[in-house]
Amino acid sequence: DLDGAAQERLSKDAVCTKCHDESETKPILAIYQTPHGVTGDGRTPNCQSCHGESANHLAGDVGGKGRPAPDIVFGSKHTPAGYLPTDPQAQTEVCLGCHKANLRMHWPGSQHQTNDVACANCHTVHSPTDPMLVKVLQPAVCFGCHQEQRAQTKQISTHPLDAGKMACSDCHNPHGSAGPKLLAKNTVNETCWTCHAEKRGPFLWEHQPVNEDCTNCHTPHGSNITPLLKSRPPFLCDECHDGPHNSQAPYGNAVAGIQGGGALMGSSPNSNAVGRSCMNCHVMIHGSNSPAGAFLHR
């Protein structure tokens, strides 16, 4: 029942699939389970659409030098057959021929593009399931290069990446973006507010570093200081405040209470120093909407 265009596509595919069949270690033919293999869709590519006509490859071993590579070899490593991957920019241009818009809009000049990352470095096009498109599998692909972030997600305070409830692409657009660090939104805060809209305000009483950049205090991939803090109050607060009342005191080991060997105000530990420290009282640290909350107490 296939129309002429579909028949022609399958005929072009057959040139390749007569050799690259079900016996291949990699599931070449599984591409027919993916959007690239929907025969009835007039936009569906054939093998040559992506890999090129590859006349030399089809000609076989001429002159005893072995079979030449196809015109376009995707990926970042040489293949089991010994073929070197094609230049990343040339690989990517093939994909952008159809996928240049929407999420890929900011690809030209993006961090990944300028660092020679090709689409096939992350995407597994022939597989029935592309790990990059599955929330629970995607982080492992990203962590292949971003090892610092992988390590941070193993710390005691993290977002639920390890639990498979978040993917890197929930915050980042790896294809490029107008935001910093390939963030999906225009700014750090806009990205965080996607899930944490209760921190958005605007509040009656604002806290400047909160307005400007959540990462002034938080480190999003993981921390030894809960909740995802860069440092432990009162020392975190002291990085911006040394004028007001108790941040004028060197707390030293008094922050650890009597058990930590330190104490202030005579023999008893000081509730301004221990536990939540400043945030025992200044609890509305992201901003307050109470008329009595000027100092973030209410």
Partner 1 sequence: VATPLAAQAQDEGNDDLKALLYPLNYFDVGVRNVPTDSPKFGEYNGLNESGTYLLGNFDVRGGDSYGQHDGTTRWQVTGNDLGTTSRNLRASLADQGQWIFGIGYDQLRHYTTDGSYQTPFQGSMGGNLFTLSPTFGVINTTTANSGGVLTSNSRGTQTLTATQLAAFHTEDVYSERQNTSASAGYNFNREWSIKLNFNRLDQSGAKLIGSGTDAYDLRDTGGFNYGGERIAILMNPTEFKNDTITLALNWVGKKGYASANYFGSMLHDDYSGVTWSNPYVSGGNGAAAVPPTGTSPGAAFPLGTMSTPPSNQFHQLNLTGGYIFSAATKLTGGLSYGRNTQNASYDGTYTTVPNTAQLLPVNSLDGLVVMTHADVKLTHQATSALNFTAGLKYNERDNRTASNTYTFLDLGGDALTVVNIPMSNKRSQFDVGGDYRIGSSQRLHLGYEYDHISRWCNNALANNAQGELSATNAGYYTVASCVQVPKNTENRLVATYKLKVGETVNFNAGYTYGRRTATVNSSFYNPMQANDEGFENFGYVAFFDASRKENLFKAGVSWQATDKFTLGINGRYAKDDYGSTLGVQDGDVSSANLDASYSYSENASFAVYASWQRRTRNLFTASGRDAVALRTTLWSNDLTDQDNTVGVSGKQKGFMHGKLELAEDFNYSLSSTKYSTTLVQNINSAVGNSGTTPTISSKLAQLKFTGTYQFSKASSMLAGYMYQRLRSNDYFYNAYLLGFTPTSLLPTNQQAPNYSVNTVFVAYRYTFL
Scanning residues 60 to 119, which ones bind partner 1 (CB under 8 A)?
77-80, 82, 84, 93, 100-102, 105-106, 108-109, 114, 116
Give the count of residues interacting with partner 1 (CB under 8 A). Answer: 142
Q: Vertex 24, ends 66 and 26: CA angle to 5°?
A: 105
Instruction: Closer to partner 1 by CB, 1 or 61: give it.
Output: 1
> d(Cα 186, Cα 176) in Å, to the nearest integer?
11
Instruction: Closer to partner 1 by CB, 51 or 126: give it.
Output: 126
Query: What residues contact 196, with CB distance under 8 A and at least 6 apart?
Result: none
> d(Cα 23, Cα 133) in Å, to the nearest integer?
26
- Using CB under 8 A as the binding rule, the residues of this chain from 256 to 295 that contact partner 1 are 256-265, 268-271, 274-276, 279-281, 283-284, 286, 288-295
- Using CB under 8 A as the binding rule, the residues of this chain from 116 to 175 that contact partner 1 are 116, 128, 136, 144, 147-148, 150-152, 154-156, 160, 162-165
Task: Please choose, out of 49-57, 58-66, 117-125, 192-200, the segment that lies near partner 1 by the rule CB under 8 A.
Answer: 192-200
| Placement of tokens 């307005």 in the chain | 211
Single residue of 19, 35, 59, 62 touching partner 1 by CB under 8 A: 35
| Placement of tokens 């995707």 in the chain | 74
Instruction: Closer to partner 1 by CB, 61 or 101: give it.
Output: 101
Give, in order, the Cα–Cα distances in Å from 134 to each of 77, 138, 169, 259. Answer: 23, 6, 10, 47
Per-residue exposure over 262-277, b if at least 16 CB sit within 10 Å of its own CB, e if not: bbbeeeebbebbbeeb
Does residue 235 belong to the site contacting partner 1 (CB under 8 A)?
yes
